[in-house]
Amino acid sequence: MANLSNSNERDQWSSKIGFVLAAAGSAVGLGNLWRFPYTAGQNGGGAFVLMYFVILFLVGFTLMLAELIIGRHTQLNAIGAYRKIRKNWAWVGGIGVLASFLILSFYSVIGGWVVHYVVRTVTGGLALADTNAYEGLFVGFITNPIQPILYHAIFASLTVGIVMGGVSGGIEKYSKILMPGLFVMMIIIMLRSVTLPGASEGIKFFLAPDFSKIDGSVMLAALGQVFFSLSLGMGVIITYGSYLGKSENIPQNSITIPLVDTGIALLAGLAILPAVFALGFEPDAGPSLLFITLPAVFAEMPLGMVFALIFFLLVLFAALTSSISLLEASVSFVVDQFKLSRKSAAALLGLAVFLLGIPSSLGQGIWSDLTFIRGNDFMDSIDFIASNIMLPLGGFFLCIFIGWIWGIDNALKEATNNGKISFKLAGFWSFLVKYVAPLAILVVFFQGLRS
C-alpha cells in the first residue's frame, strides 16, 4: 500500500482498490452526510438537487479527470505540479492549498461535534425521552465557549496523528470495512426515515424540483457543493493522483469516485430530510440537521442508541478520511517547499488549523453577533469564501490550464496512458474542459455573487 506519510518518496498505491478507497474516502465525508442535506434544505430541496446533478455532469466529472491527469503526470503536490508544467501557474495550486487549509479549520470544528456525539452516546447522554429536547442539547453544546473547542482539538489531533504516522496500514485497511459499513447503515437509517408517518412530504421536498426556486444563489450553492463534496479545486485529488501508477485507468476512476460520492449524498438526504418533515422540524435549519434530527430519529427506533453509536462512529470515520486528505494537501507542499520533516509540518499546520478553527467555534455562541460575509458568522463566511469563491476560481483556471495552456493533446496522452487504453469520451471531455466547464463555472459564479 502507498505510504502517504512520506510523499517525498512518491509512493504509489499498490492496488487499484487502495486508491479508489482513499479518493472515495476523501470525497465522502461531512460534505455528504452533513453539508449536502442541509444545503439542499436551505436551497429549495429538489431544485438544488437538480442543479447539483447538472453541475456534477458538466463540471464534476470533467475536473475530477483533469486533476487526476495533472497529479499523475507530474507526480507532485498541487503547487509543484502546476509549477512543473508551467512555472508561472503555481499560484493556481496555491489557491487550492490555501482553500484546503481554510476548509480544514472549520471541518475540524464539526468533526469535534461528531466526536462529542460519539462520547455522549457511549455515556448514555444521547438517549432523551422527548425528541424535541435534542435541539436544546445541541445548541447548548455548540454555544458553550470551551467544550466544543476541546473536541475540535481532539479531532485536529487525530487528523495530525494519522497524517504523521502514515495512512496505508490504518486508513486504507479500515476503509475497506468502514466504507461499506457506512453504506449499509445509511440504507437502514434511510429506510427507517422514509417509512416514518409524514415522511412523504420530505421525500417530495428533496426529490421533486420546484423550478421557480432555481436562481443564481441556488446555482452557486450547488456549484460550491459539487467542488466541496468531490474534494475538487484544492489540490487534494492532484496529490492523491500523484501516487497513482502509470498503468491505472484514470478516466474510469474519475467516474467511479463521483458516483460513489453522489450515491452517499443522496442516501444522506433521504435519511435526513424525510425525518425532518415527519418530526416537524424545519428543513432549512442549516448545519444542525445531522445533530438534532438524526438523534431524534434514533430515539424512536428500537435499539436506537446502538444505531446512533455505530452511525456517529461511521460519520467520524468518513470525516477523518476527508480531513487527512485536506491536511495532506498542505503538508505535502510544506514538506516539498521548505524541506521540513513530515512530522513537524503536520504538527505546525495542525496547530494553525486548530487556532483558525477557534473563531468558527466561538461564532456559534459568544461571538454569534459577529457577522462577516453576507451576514454569516465566521464559520459560514470561511466556508463561503473557500467553497463558493476560491474553489470555483481554482477550478476555472484548472480548465483554462488544461484546455488552453498545457493543451488537450498532452492531457489526453496522460489520460490514455500514451494511447494504451481507450477513452471513448475523449472528444466529449475535451469539449467540456475547454468550453463548457469554464463557462458554466463563470456564469454560475457571477450569477451567484450578484443574487
Residues in contact with ligand PFF by CB under 6 A are 26-27, 29-32, 100, 103, 228-229, 231, 234, 236, 322, 325-326
How near is the Cβ of 152 to ligand PFF at its closest, in Å?
16
Distance CA 147, CA 125 (A): 15
How near is the Cβ of 257 to ligand PFF at its closest, in Å?
10
The nearer residue to ligand PFF, 237 or 415, going by C-beta atoms, is 237
The nearer residue to ligand PFF, 304 or 350, going by C-beta atoms, is 350
Distance CA 429, CA 191 (A): 37
Per-residue DSSP letters for 238-250?
Answer: HHHHTTS-TTS-H
Distance CA 75, CA 245 (A): 10
How near is the Cβ of 107 to ligand PFF at its closest, in Å?
7
How near is the Cβ of 70 to ligand PFF at its closest, in Å?
15
Q: What is the dihedral of CA 388, 381, 365, 265, to 10 degrees?
A: 0
How near is the Cβ of 225 to ligand PFF at its closest, in Å?
9
The nearer residue to ligand PFF, 77 or 231, going by C-beta atoms, is 231
Q: What 3-state DSSP class applies to 44?
A: coil
The nearer residue to ligand PFF, 30 or 390, going by C-beta atoms, is 30
Distance CA 58, CA 29 (A): 22
The residue whose Cβ lies closest to ligand PFF is 31
How many CB atoms sit inside 10 A of residue 416's CB? 16
The nearer residue to ligand PFF, 199 or 313, going by C-beta atoms, is 313
How near is the Cβ of 93 to ligand PFF at its closest, in Å?
13
How many CB atoms sit inside 10 A of residue 400's CB? 17
The nearer residue to ligand PFF, 199 or 329, going by C-beta atoms, is 329
C-alpha cell at 231: 474534494
The nearer residue to ligand PFF, 64 or 444, going by C-beta atoms, is 64
Q: What 3-state DSSP class applies to 448?
A: helix
The 3-state DSSP composition of the chain as helix, strand, coil percent (nearest 5) reads: 80, 0, 20
Q: Are 276 and 283 in contact (CB under 8 A)?
A: yes
Which has the closest alpha carbon to 79: 64, 67, 95?
95
How near is the Cβ of 398 to ligand PFF at its closest, in Å?
14
